[in-house]
Amino acid sequence: MKKILIINGPNLNLLGTREKEVYGTETLDDIAKKVAEEAAKLNVNIEFFQSNHEGDIIDKIHAARGNTDAIIINPGAYTHYSIAIRDAIKAVEIPTIEIHLSNIHAREEFRSHSVIAPVCVGQICGFGSNSYILGLNAAALL
| Active site members | 23, 100
Residue 101 known to bind ligand: yes
80 is in an annotated binding site: yes
Taking the C-alpha atoms of residue 5 and residue 8, their distance in angstroms, rounded to an integer, is 10
- The reply to whether 29 sits in an annotated binding site is no
Residues 6+ apart with CB under 8 A from 59: none
111 is in an annotated binding site: yes
To the nearest 10 degrees (0 to 180), the angle between helices 83-92 and 54-64 is 10
Contacts of 103 by beta carbon, 8 Å cutoff, 6+ apart: 125, 126
Q: Residues within the annotated binding site?
A: 74, 80, 87, 101-102, 111
Q: Residues within the annotated binding site for substrate?
A: 74, 80, 87, 101-102, 111
